[in-house]
Chain A
Amino acid sequence: MIEIIIGKYNYWIYITLMMIGFYAMIAKGNLIKKIIGMNIFQTAVILFYISTGKVWGGTAPILWDKAVIYDNPIPHVLMLTAIVVSVGTTAVAIAIVIRIYKEYGTMEEDAILEIERKQAEELRKGNTGQREI
């Protein structure tokens, strides 16, 4: 039991971080906090990939006459792509939040939904009003 916890601590860290991020994405009402949660979530997966690439006693995967065992470089390379994706997602998300803030004047999800609900109600009233005429 102890071995599972101590011996694979990197995976425990990954799972904990992932759950923190996941929780923030779902439960937080503030849009920026959601984005922060999304970043933690994605970073956790990056950490997971990196730790799968590590070989005990391995060196950096370079041509070097003293090196016998290499770390697996592929997960690192894959994660370069994932980092780019993560940056791209964050940029798009922040751009959308900036526009949301300009349109609604708030970044709280509840407040935005409230504004949208009122707007829909007014629209419905407007429509029925026209029909009566």
Chain B
Amino acid sequence: MNIAEHFPALVIVIPLLFALITWLAGLINRAFCWVIALTITFLCFLMSFSILNTVMHTGRISYHMGAWEPPWGIEYAIDYLNGFVLVVVSFIAFIVTLYSRKSVGLEIDEEKSPAFYSLYMLLFTGLMGMTITGDIFNLYVFIEITSLSGYALIAIGRRRNSLMASFNYLILGTIAATFILIGIGYLYMVTGSLNMADLREKLPPLYHSRVVLTAFGFFTVGLSLKLALFPLHIWLPNAYTYAPSVVSAIMAATSTKVGAYAMLRILFTVFKVEFDLNVVPVTKILLVLSCIAIIAGSILAISQTNIKRMLAYSSVGQIGYIVLGTTMANQTAMTGSIIHILNHALMKGTLFLVAGCVVYKTGIEDISGLKGMGQKMPFSMAAFTVGALSMVGVPLTVGFISKWYLATGALKAGMWFILPIILISSLLSAIYFWRIIEGIYFAPAVSSQHSEVSTYRSLDHHNPHPVSRSRDDAPPGMLIPTLILAGLCIFFGIAAYIPVSVAEKAANMLLGGT
């Protein structure tokens, strides 16, 4: 028996099992929890990578849970798209776990840390499950696993504001998940099938049936709520602002991305492209909404004073980019959209991790408090700068690659009006990031305990004096993961062909090619 054949099941079963074991191990010694979480996420990353590798060589993998043949049994189907998303999710989860030890120690009560890692593993299981499953009801179950652990993780911190944020997310998240459940019920009513590939074959004769149209409506609204598309984003800013830093980072970097992936699945795998283009004008509706999301997210981000809240609003705009690419229904824009799933995970991950570093060292969450941080925390701030440049879309960073593909795709689709929208939003993000970066490097520190001279000296590496009292960066355990993500922002901005080669195949597959 070849163990590699069972990776698709193991990648879900292992974190699910260890969610419990982590908590039990925490009863013996709390230090075990972090080690277990780190090992498991790394193991899952390796397995996802191996799965993607197999997919790239042999094509779609279909794993039958318990050897029940689809469409009766649950099928785990991995193709280019979700193989790619699996690797992204497991990698980000690994990096955030690596980062989490110190940050969790600071922001979460000591006795809650086993529960935190247990929930974290559950969230990870849910995200991986949403990505890997080829069964639509299984998708719903994993959406609920992700959401429930997400609500608990947001509320686990010490700040009381997080409770209301979590409760509001719970109410909206339940509405979204129940809408998806109703949609599944309607599709099951008319087709008698829950398997995505099977539904794809059975649905076309029924495309004009009112039941299918209603189901599609429920799916679109439910998933838009989950991925926080513009008018349905209201749960997101509070949840990301008040959650512990680690939770904000993992949720901003992966959970909305997986929501976007689920939407791609429903729009382009369960339903065919022809349905989205000809039967229901869903691509047009989403196009308008995502354009509004891009602009509104950037404008709202400018007016924020809290770093995490600003990043949250900028996420709303970036989710707009992901949806925008899918609505043009051509290969280039779709590639841009899929690659933005990776790219946004990298840059938002970096930025939220830096925000966590700053909170860890100084407790500052206000943008004005970042002044002069360039001397105090040079490495964190360098990572922040890379992330910020990436968000703006400067060449040689990942942000540029996604914007390039989206813009080229828009031209191919003949939608020239998208170009100024991308341009304006890049300018707006340049404004809100420049405001911070200027403060970091060019403004004197707020609490100026050191004279200007000593501040300048700390920049000088040949300074014989010990590298000034003012330099006080985050501990290496937090700094290294942050720098890895920041490094990857640049690496994939230069070696863009690596993710693009996968994303192009995935886009081609979604649009009906082979």
Query: How many chain B residues touch A (Cβ–Cβ < 8 Å)?
Result: 26
Q: How many residues of A contact B (CB 8 A)?
A: 32
Assess whether A96 is interfacial by the CB under 8 Å rule: yes
- Asked whether A85 lies within 8 Å of B170 as measured between CB atoms, the reply is no
A89 close to B (CB within 8 Å)? yes
> Contact: B163 with A45, CB < 8 Å?
no
Q: Which residues of B contact A75 (CB under 8 A)?
A: 185, 188
Partner of A45, one of B137, B151, B181, B194: B181
What's the dominant secondary structure at chain B's contact region? helix
Kindly state the separation between the CA atoms of A78 and B188 in the bound complex, as whole angstroms: 11
Q: Mark B150-191, 1 if CB is under 8 A from A, else 0.
A: 011001000011011011001100110110011001001100
B141 contacts partner chain A, Cβ-Cβ < 8 Å = yes
Query: What's the nearest-Cβ distance from chain A to residue B131, in Å?
Result: 19
A97 to B181, CA, bound (A): 25
Contact A100 B164 (CB under 8 A): yes
B177 contacts which chain A residues (CB < 8 A)? 85
Q: Mark B110-154, 1 if CB is under 8 A from A, else 0.
A: 000000000000000000000000000100010010001001100
Residues of chain A within 8 A of B160, CB atoms compared: 100, 103-104
Q: Name the residue on A nearest B170 (C-beta).
A: A93
Question: CA A41 – CA B173 in complex, angstroms?
Answer: 13
Inter-chain contact B167/A42, CB cutoff 8 Å? no
Contact across chains for B148 and A92 when beta carbons are under 8 A apart: yes
Q: Report if A25 contacts B (CB, 8 A).
A: yes
CB of A49 within 8 Å of the partner chain: yes
Complex CA distance for A81 and B181, rounded to whole angstroms? 11
Q: A17 an interface residue at 8 Å Cβ cutoff?
A: no
Is residue A88 within 8 Å, beta carbon to beta carbon, of the partner chain? yes
Which residue of B is nearest A98, CB measured?
B163
- Report chain B residues within 8 Å CB of A113: 164
A41 to B176, CA, bound (A): 12
Report Cα–Cα, A49/B184, bound state, in Å.
Answer: 10
Contacts of A85 in B (CB 8 A): 141, 144, 148, 177
Any B CB within 8 A of the CB of A66: no
Q: Are A45 and B185 in contact (CB under 8 A)?
A: yes
Residue interface bits A27-39, CB-to-B below 8 A is 1, else 0: 0000100100010
Q: Which of A22, A81, A93, A112 contacts B164 (CB 8 A)?
A: A112
> Is the CB of B366 closer than 8 A to any CB of chain A?
yes
Give the residues in chain B near A20, CB-CB below 8 Å: none
Q: Report B-chain residues with C-beta under 8 Å of the C-beta of A48.
A: 182, 185
Given contacts A49-B185, A89-B174, contact A96 B151 (CB under 8 A): yes
Residues of B within 8 A of A78 (CB): 137
Alpha-carbon separation in the docked complex, A106 to B194 (Å):
44
A34 x B175 contact (CB < 8 A)? no
A52 part of interface (Cβ distance < 8 Å): yes
- Of chain B, the residue at the smallest CB distance from A78 is B137
The residue that A92 contacts in the complex, of B141, B151, B164, with Cβ under 8 A, is B151
Question: Is A82 an interface residue when CB atoms closer than 8 A count as contact?
Answer: yes
User: Are the CB atoms of A82 and B181 closer together than 8 Å?
Assistant: yes
Least CB separation from B169: chain A residue: A96
Determine the distance from Cα of A75 to Cα of B366 in the docked complex, in whole angstroms.
51
Of all chain A residues, the one with the shortest Cβ separation from B181 is: A45
* Cβ B144 vs Cβ A89 within 8 A: yes
B178 touches A92 (CB 8 A): no
Nearest residue in B to A42 (C-beta to C-beta)? B178
Interface flags, A105-118, vs B, CB<8A=1, else 0: 00000001100100
Residues of B within 8 A of A (CB): 137, 141, 144, 148, 151-152, 155, 160-161, 163-164, 166-167, 170-171, 174-175, 177-178, 181-182, 185, 188-189, 194, 366
Q: What are 20 A-B contacts with C-beta separation under 8 Å?
A: A34-B171, A38-B171, A41-B174, A41-B178, A45-B182, A45-B185, A74-B194, A82-B181, A85-B148, A88-B144, A89-B144, A89-B148, A92-B151, A92-B152, A97-B167, A100-B167, A103-B160, A112-B164, A116-B164, A127-B366
* Other A-B pairs, 6, CB within 8 Å; known A89-B148, A93-B170, A95-B152: A22-B175, A52-B185, A81-B137, A81-B141, A82-B181, A100-B164
